């Protein structure tokens, strides 16, 4: 087993949403609590902070090369040429919360969830290609990692506190999801499932917050691999690189490494020769 290696270390409180930009061939990620966004260039092994402001809970790559930021209060904005342009200034029902994780669907729509806060439960929204927003699901706790099966007929969604990864029927023509089933339930006492992705064999990869590991599951939900990390909180992962065999994983806890573990809050890389899938590109008409 290859050991994950640190490639960038900003002592992030909660490094999240690692996003591979296929046109730039660079990795982006967010430190959500501190409102910072960073990028890493594997060709030069250089990295830098590119944004500071309101928290960015999710990042999507648009087909024109810009980035879509999903933020506090249900705000969605485009980041291009160091300029942030609002798309949706806020969702009135989400003024006390924020977006958390997102995924672009095969048609270029973007799904993103908002977190629960107090009595206000989380929701899953869909940003449609015409720029409108649809509330898809209610009564979630912390909607998290998402993915699609290789045949594009099913959609995965993680609800972290419930320790469950759901699978839905998915209609690519409408973006509708239905028939929720539980695909994976993680063991109690081993952390909670966080960010996820699906590789080129249809296997599910799930980061484990407070679980010290990345996990790989077969399409029928059986654990086939676990990769240990020094930090407790492995928050998310993505595949990237020329052939999508590079795995980039974010971690949290950089503000308290004595308890959270060596390298907490850093971004890690490893390559196991397992190929991932390129993420779809957003096609939002704004």
> DSSP string covering 25-80, please?
TEEEEEEGGGTEEEEEETTTTEEEEEEESS-EEEEEEBTTS-EEEEEBTT-EEEEE
Average pLDDT of 123-147? Answer: 97
Average pLDDT of 30-47? Answer: 98
How confident is residue 231, by pLDDT bands cut at 50, 70 and 90?
Answer: very high
Would you list the domain boundaries of the chain?
20-271
In this structure, are residues 179 and 169 in contact, taking their beta carbons and an 8 Å threshold?
yes
DSSP 94: G
Cα distances from 281 to residues 91, 96, 105, 154, 212, in angstroms, run 23, 29, 8, 18, 30
Is 144 labeled as ligand-binding?
yes
Is 16 labeled as ligand-binding?
yes
**Tens digit of pLDDT for each residue in 75-108?**
999 999 999 999 999 999 999 999 999 999 999 9
With b for 16 or more beta-carbon neighbours within 10 A and e for fewer, the 180-213 pattern comes to: eeebbebeeeebbbbbbbbbeeebbbbbbbbbbb
Q: Cα(148)–Cα(125) distance, rounded to whole angstroms?
A: 16
Is 194 labeled as ligand-binding?
yes
Beta-ladder partners of 124 = 113, 137
Catalytic-role residue among 101, 105, 194, 246: 194
Q: Using CB atoms within 10 A of its CB, is residue 273 exposed (0-12), middle (13-18) or buried (19+)?
A: exposed
**Tens digit of pLDDT for each residue in 233-275?**
999 999 999 999 999 999 999 999 999 999 999 999 999 999 9
**Predicted pLDDT at 2:** 81
Neighbouring CB atoms inside 10 A of 90's CB total 14
Is residue 286 pLDDT above 80, yes or no? Answer: no
Query: Residue 183: which of 215, 226, 137 has the closest Cα?
Result: 215
Tokens coding 242:
């020329």
Average pLDDT of 159-166? Answer: 96
**Predicted pLDDT at 1:** 63
**Predicted pLDDT at 151:** 97
Does 194 qualify as catalytic in the annotation? yes
Sheet holding 204-209, edge to edge: 192-198, 204-209, 213-217, 223-228
In this structure, are residues 253 and 260 in contact, taking their beta carbons and an 8 Å threshold?
yes
Is 138 labeled as ligand-binding?
no
Q: Cα(169)–Cα(160) distance, rounded to whole angstroms?
A: 20
Compute the mean pLDDT over every residue in the chain, rounded to the nearest whole number.
97
Is residue 40 pLDDT above 70, yes or no? Answer: yes
Give the dihedral of Cα atoms 237, 240, 241, 242; nearest 10 deg: 150
Is 98 labeled as ligand-binding?
yes
Query: Residue 38: which of 26, 50, 46 has the closest Cα?
Result: 50
Question: Which class is domain 20-271?
Answer: mainly beta
Tokens coding 216:
């790989």
């Amino acid at each position: 087993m290859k050991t994950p290696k640190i490639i960038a270390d900003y002592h992030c409180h909660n490094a999240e949403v690692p996003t591979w930009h296929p046109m730039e061939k660079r990795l982006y990620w967010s430190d959500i609590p501190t409102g910072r966004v960073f990028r890493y260039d594997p060709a030069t092994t250089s990295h830098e902070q590119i944004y500071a402001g309101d928290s960015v809970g999710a990042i999507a790559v648009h087909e024109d090369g810009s980035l879509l930021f999903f933020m506090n209060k249900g705000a969605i904005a485009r980041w291009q040429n160091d300029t942030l342009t609002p798309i949706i200034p806020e969702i009135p029902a989400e003024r006390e919360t924020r977006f958390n994780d997102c995924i672009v669907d095969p048609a270029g729509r973007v799904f993103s969830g908002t977190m629960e806060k107090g009595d206000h439960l989380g929701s899953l929204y869909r940003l449609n290609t015409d720029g409108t927003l649809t509330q898809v699901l209610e009564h979630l706790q912390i909607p998290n990692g998402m993915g699609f099966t290789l045949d594009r007929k099913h959609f995965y969604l993680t609800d972290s506190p419930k320790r469950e990864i759901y699978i839905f029927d998915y209609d690519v023509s409408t973006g509708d999801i239905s028939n929720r089933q539980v695909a994976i339930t993680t063991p109690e006492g081993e952390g909670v499932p966080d960010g996820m992705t699906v590789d080129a064999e249809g296997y599910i990869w799930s980061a484990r917050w407070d679980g010290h590991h990345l996990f790989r599951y077969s399409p029928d939900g059986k654990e086939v691999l676990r990769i240990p990390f020094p930090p407790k909180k492995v928050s998310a992962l993505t595949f990237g690189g020329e052939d999508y065999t590079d795995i980039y994983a974010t971690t949290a806890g950089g503000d308290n490494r004595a308890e959270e573990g060596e390298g907490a809050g850093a971004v890690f890389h490893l390559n196991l020769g397992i190929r991932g899938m390129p993420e779809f590109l957003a096609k939002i008409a704004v």
